[in-house]
Amino acid sequence: MSDISKKLKIAFFVERFPKLSETFILNQLTYLVKAGHEVDIFPAGRSGEKMVHDEINRLRLLSRTYYPPIVPENTLWAWLKFTLIVNVKPTVRTLVKLLKSQDFYSKQDIFRRFYLISLFYPFISKNKYDIIHCHFGPTGLRAVFVRTLGLLEGKMLTTFYGYDITHQAMGKNYYQGLIAHCDKYIVISNYIGEKAASVGFERDKMVVLPLGINTEEFTPSGRQCY
């Protein structure tokens, strides 16, 4: 029997953070942090929103957040920043050599190269976790990329919320890399589960877990609804 009191080290993959509308992700984060787990947050980028929920500041969640480097819009600045990042850390130079074997320099423009580096840069020296929890399917693919470079270790879990499995662009071949690497999947409804199964996700690795609400913040008013 597993020890449910064990404090875990968890990597949280999200699309944008913090994001006002994604309270379902924030609720999970706040619960884990308050329970004493060590959580690192890895967004694909910033939301650009100025307003944030109180918990972001109260629990100092931004201090646990690791953003990819911003790619400059100007080509010259992109080259300069790219060169600085590549030459400052030996680990980055090693990974660029690996990418070079995939025609990293000959076929990719500077912005594409910078984007590829930005995917793995936040994970240097932060690679071992008990759980890698990816929110939305595309973030799972980002985690797979980092994992195949040897920068990420841990049991991998992906939660599907809707568009990430129902959109027609997510066809049978879109998630093949994720299917090969993921240990468990969470779907928020039976319908989402059926859609996931239809593109190849194994049912025996799937858990149906509907989204709930924080009952400490929302209580019945006593009024009847008609």
For 48-94, write each residue's pLDDT tens digit.
899 999 999 999 999 999 999 888 888 888 778 777 776 776 667 66
Is residue 137 in some structural domain?
Answer: yes
Q: How many domains does the chain have?
A: 2
210: Cα within 13 Å, side-chain hemisphere: 5
Partnered with residue 98 across adjacent β-strands are none
What is the residue range of 101's domain?
Answer: 75-119
62 plus 79 within the same structural domain: no
Is residue 83 in some structural domain?
Answer: yes
CB 25 within 8 A of CB 135: yes
- Please tell me the distance from the alpha carbon of residue 36 to that of residue 14, in angstroms, as a whole number: 20
What is the Cα gyration radius of the chain?
A: 19
For 12-59, write each residue's pLDDT tens digit.
999 999 999 999 999 999 999 999 999 999 999 999 899 999 999 999
* DSSP string over 69-130: PPPPSSHHHHHHHHHHHHHH-HHHHHHHHHHHTTTHHHH--HHHHHHHHHHHGGGTT--EEE
Is residue 3 in some structural domain?
Answer: no
Is residue 214 in some structural domain?
Answer: no
